[in-house]
Chains A and B, each alone.
Chain A
Amino acid sequence: MNSRRSGGHPRVETLALFARGDLAWLERRDVTRHVRHCAECLHELGEFRAVVEELRRGASAGLPPAVESAGEWSRIEREMTGNINVGVAAGRCIEKVGVHRLRGWRGPLVIAGLSVVFIAGWFLNMPHRDTAQILSAFHSAWRGAQTRNGTIVQTTATGIAVRTQGAMLTLLHPGATDVTVSVSGTASVGARYVDDETGQVTITNVYGQ
């Protein structure tokens, strides 16, 4: 492992990345093996995990001022659009490079080889959580593409949602423990719960048509 201290322990930053689930597969395996037998690193890891949990709780309760204001949306959007444009322009610049050298059977062979290297590199280096999220996004996009009008109503982990081409409106039931979901017709999903704050029974619905 390239991230060891002189005593054979993982570096502090490696433990921090491990606590966040951000290590690549090989490093993750090494750290897992090490902390099984090292009380000192296990203790340090426990402290990192506590900090990570605290940060998560903090993140759900508030937001850095940089993205709090709706006025910042335009800036973020401009930045992202700019980045995409730079990428597209770069792609156009290099699209003709090497085209003569990849004729015939050599072209597909090179692409297949590069694909193997890319896939192997991906699974060895990317945190498995990110891979799972990306695969899940592809799966959702595929299922969404199969519907006729592109509008789906569904239950989610936090509420009930209506989804159209990447956009989603979700009615949440925060803090409710006893939530009953049901269909109402073939175009609407509903959720019923007692609102913790007001004590009122609240029934939310999303409609797909």
Chain B
Amino acid sequence: MRWLDVEFPHDAPISLVSFSLGDSTTGSVRGTSLALDLHTSLTLRNSSLKSIRGLTLRVEAQDLTPNGKASVTVPSLNAAPGENFPVRVDLELLRPFNTPRNGGALVQVTLDGVLFDDLSFYGPDKLHSRRSLTVYELEARRDRRYFQRLIEQGNTAKLREEMNFGLPELRSPQLGLELLHDPRSAARNERPVSVAIVSFPDAPVQMLNGAATIDKNEVRGPEVDLRNRSEKTVQNIETGWILHDENGRGFMAGLLPAHIQIRPVQQARVHENGVLRFSRASGSPILVDGVTAFISNVEFEDGNWWIPSRTDISNSALDASLKRTLVTSPEQQRLTEIYRRRGLTALTTELKKFVK
């Protein structure tokens, strides 16, 4: 039996140059299951005529978790035509011995999407990677411009502050998460709460009000009412959600995407089914006491996008750690790592690579 298959369509803009299983790839018996640790390093080539800015690989173990799948996304790429670049896939499979086998590889890796520098997209997009890759790229451009400006102005004090140097730890605390689709509803100690709203003045969509149900460390059925205050039709919207524990401490919970058409001036309601159960990274439950929501990004029918500016976020009524969480895009995380490890010169060089 093969462990891993990597298959891309014949017209895909990337091709597989090589893949290797790392030395730490192991298998072991755990109870009545077999645990397999796979550490795979793929070398891919940009076989298109455009620069690649990001990609998403779909990872499935069809005979093992038929209702579940996974993905590995690498945003903030800068792979020129013909250039090779690495992607790592590290996973663990826990496979009960009585699981029927389908004869294929245990793990299948396929392509869900590739985003190019002109924001065009290739791929089946079954995991909605077009939307997430586009938002990552727009945030990356916003943040590169911001850091470039700080360097040009010689504002190294601000740059250090942004890169979290010499400051107390401002990161938002880590979360543990579990998502359930539980049929039981309103059967226990649930209580409805209204959702506090963070407004960005330039957002094309206004959040009017919101509600959710809370039961200890669970949040059920969050919903918000929205109004389109732009002159264009909205077709996709992502709302950001923040939890507050019993001590008033805020945790960035995540984003709820919604495919919903809202014409200019119209109102609409976005509702999510399901149960979100939260804990701290240590595993102890977070007693949810309140919920805050904000507009994270908007896609219009004409293909344009809106994301909050850094000024929107810094002027918002959020505490410092949540502002930092919101403003820390994948690109900022990458650039911070370059600055920390290799210094200002390396950061400047890296930023210049993206200037056309």
Contacts and interface: CB of A to CB of B under 8 A. Distances in A.
A68 B23 CA distance: 11
A159 B23 CA distance: 19
A201 B66 contact: no
Contacts of A153: 68, 177-179
B88 A147 contact: no
A207 B70 contact: yes
Interface residues of A, number: 69
B171 to A, nearest CB: 8
B266 to A, nearest CB: 23
B333 A194 contact: yes
Interface string B157-184: 0000000000000010011111111110
Given A77-B97, A172-B92, A204 B183 contact: no
A209 interface: yes
Interface in A162-209: 162-174, 178-190, 192, 194-195, 197-209
A76 interface: yes
A164 B181 contact: no
Interface stretch (B146-154, B248-256, B306-314): B248-256
Contacts of A189: 177, 179
B23 A61 contact: yes
Interface in B28-79: 28-29, 31-34, 37, 39, 41, 59, 61, 64-77
Nearest to A64: B28
A75 B27 CA distance: 14
Contact of A171 (B27, B70, B337): B70
Most interface-central of A137, A150, A160, A199 (chain B CB within 10 A): A199
A198 B90 CA distance: 13
A106 interface: no
Given A187-B274, A192-B330, A171 B175 contact: no
Contact of A148 (B132, B183, B333): B183
B65 A203 contact: no
A154 to B, nearest CB: 4
A207 B257 CA distance: 14
B3 interface: yes
A162 B68 contact: yes
A132 B181 CA distance: 28
A184 B64 contact: no
Contacts of A209: 67, 181
A70 B77 contact: no
Contact of A201 (B252, B272, B330): B330
Contact of B177 (A154, A185, A197, A199): A154
Given A151-B68, A183-B255, A203 B180 contact: no
Nearest to B88: A195
A162 B59 CA distance: 12
B94 interface: yes
B355 interface: no
A67 interface: yes
B179 A203 contact: no
Contacts of A32: none
A184 B272 CA distance: 11
Most interface-central of A60, A174, A203 (chain B CB within 10 A): A203
Given A163-B68, A166-B33, 15 more contacts: A71-B1, A81-B97, A147-B180, A149-B181, A151-B65, A151-B68, A152-B178, A169-B92, A183-B255, A186-B181, A192-B333, A194-B337, A198-B87, A201-B333, A204-B72
Interface of B: 1-3, 23-24, 26-29, 31-34, 37, 39, 41, 59, 61, 64-77, 86-97, 99, 106, 127, 132, 136, 171, 174-183, 241, 252-257, 272-276, 281, 325, 328, 330-331, 333-334, 337-338
7 contacts: A159-B90, A172-B91, A182-B254, A183-B241, A194-B334, A207-B70, A208-B181
